[in-house]
């Protein structure tokens, strides 16, 4: 059996380029303050390319004074399109600063977050929400220089405008008795509560009753039961926590022989790709997380550089994407 080729080392690169290991380190780590002749730099880079050399993370961290790893703590939530897009966007934004994103799923069995932080030598750890004081201390002991929430704490809940906009849209279309479809997954409750409170506030401003909130699982029976309750209570339009939940409501309506928007209007949130493929196509609330992602990446970079910045904010600028369901 053929043994795998040995991983090339910086010594191999140094021998191939005819320079010292120190010179290899200066060139490959782009150390500032060093005057390396361009011809020497070219030989080192060419030798590294031919040998397919990649520095060990620990060696690179030692040379740079810190690693290029940012660890993202992902809570125990369903990883839908919205969260996936957020993670992809954050990874891309950090990559522009030569930082690499590694994710840790909170609900997964195995090592704790501080253990993973130590194992990957993360310089920064970010989370979807604030960490408690004990976790922050443990992460710093594990080697993290920076510990930040992905979305900063604010006095006003960030997701409340989504629910408010949903309810205002339905009220503007003449609906006075609204329902609200809550998600069944407990990890989504905090975000769902914020969106629901936005809808409650919009109803109060319009002099309407608060929405009748019911939990809707992503299955036909749950959707049908909720639709039945709403119909019994005079509900004519439903705000759904997200588009997937709205799809369960639409399925429940079909089980009753009902159709949107004539029998009951439905609006979702997050504007996932499948929203335009439902029957009828789903009106949804869209928001661009790009600015939030870029601000968070910039906050991580600034903190790693020892800079203190004011809270960059996290306005999501929600807007209605109008389709046939309302």
* 202-256 pLDDT per residue, tens: 999 999 999 999 999 999 999 999 999 999 999 999 999 999 999 999 999 999 9
Beta strands 124-127 and 212-216: pairing type? unpaired
Q: What is the pLDDT of residue 154?
A: 44
Most confident of 141-145, 278-282, 315-319: 278-282
- Is-contact 135 292, C-beta < 8 A? no
pLDDT of 276 above 50? yes
- The band of 94, judged by pLDDT with boundaries at 50, 70 and 90, is very high
Rounded Cα distance, 272 and 290, in Å: 15
Q: Which of 2-6, 115-119, 265-269 is predicted least confidently? A: 2-6
Which pLDDT tens digit goes with each residue over 148-203?
A: 875 544 444 568 999 999 999 999 999 999 999 999 988 888 889 999 999 999 99
Portions of the chain given CATH number 1.10.260.40? 10-64
pLDDT of 313 above 60? no
CATH architecture of 69-150: 3-Layer(aba) Sandwich (3.40)
Rounded Cα distance, 228 and 248, in Å: 13
Q: What is the pLDDT of residue 310?
A: 53
The CATH homologous superfamily to which domain 160-287 belongs is: Response regulator (3.40.50.2300)
Q: Is 196 left (phi over 0), alpha (psi -120 to 50) or beta?
A: alpha
Rounded Cα distance, 91 and 96, in Å: 9
Q: Which helix (H) or strand (E) holds 91?
A: helix 81-95
pLDDT of 32 above 90? no
- Average pLDDT (106-114) is 77
Which 8-state DSSP code applies to residue 218?
A: S
* CA-wise closest residue to 245 among 213, 261, 214, 268: 268
pLDDT of 4 above 50? no
- The band of 83, judged by pLDDT with boundaries at 50, 70 and 90, is confident
Across the chain, mean pLDDT equals 85
Rounded Cα distance, 122 and 148, in Å: 13
Fold of domain 10-64: 434 Repressor (Amino-terminal Domain) (1.10.260)
Hey, what are 34's tokens? 């060093």
- Average pLDDT (116-138) is 88
Q: What is the pLDDT of residue 153?
A: 46
Portions of the chain given CATH number 3.40.50.2300? 69-150, 160-287
């Amino acid at each position: 059996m053929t043994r795998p080729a040995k991983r090339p080392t910086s010594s191999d690169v140094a021998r191939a380029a005819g320079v010292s290991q120190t010179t290899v380190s200066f060139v490959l780590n782009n150390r500032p303050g060093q005057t390396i002749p361009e011809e020497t730099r070219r030989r080192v880079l060419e030798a590294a390319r031919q040998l397919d050399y990649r520095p060990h993370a620990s060696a690179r961290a030692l040379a740079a004074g810190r690693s290029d790893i940012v660890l993202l703590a992902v809570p125990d939530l369903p990883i839908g399109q919205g969260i996936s897009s957020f993670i992809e966007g954050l990874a891309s934004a950090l990559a522009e600063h030569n930082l690499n994103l590694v994710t840790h799923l909170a609900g997964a069995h195995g090592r704790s977050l501080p253990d993973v932080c130590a194992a990957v030598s993360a310089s920064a750890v970010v989370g979807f929400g604030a960490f408690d004081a004990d976790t922050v201390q443990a992460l710093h002991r594990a080697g993290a220089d920076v510990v930040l929430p992905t979305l900063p704490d604010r006095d006003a809940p960030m997701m409340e405008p989504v629910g408010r906009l949903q309810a205002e849209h339905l009220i503007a279309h003449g609906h006075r008795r609204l329902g609200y479809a809550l998600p069944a997954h407990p990890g989504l409750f905090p975000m769902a509560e914020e969106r629901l409170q936005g809808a409650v506030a919009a109803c109060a401003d319009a002099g309407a009753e608060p929405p009748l909130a019911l939990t809707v699982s992503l299955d036909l029976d749950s959707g049908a039961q909720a639709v039945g309750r709403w119909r019994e209570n005079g509900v004519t339009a439903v705000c759904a926590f997200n588009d997937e939940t709205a799809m369960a409501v639409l399925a429940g309506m079909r089980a009753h022989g009902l159709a949107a928007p004539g029998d009951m209007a439905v609006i979702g949130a997050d504007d996932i790709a499948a929203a335009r493929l439902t029957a009828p196509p789903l009106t949804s609330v869209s928001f661009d997380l790009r600015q939030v992602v870029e601000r968070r990446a910039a906050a991580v970079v600034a903190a790693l550089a020892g800079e203190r910045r004011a809270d960059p904010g996290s306005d999501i600028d929600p807007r209605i994407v109008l389709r046939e369901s309302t």
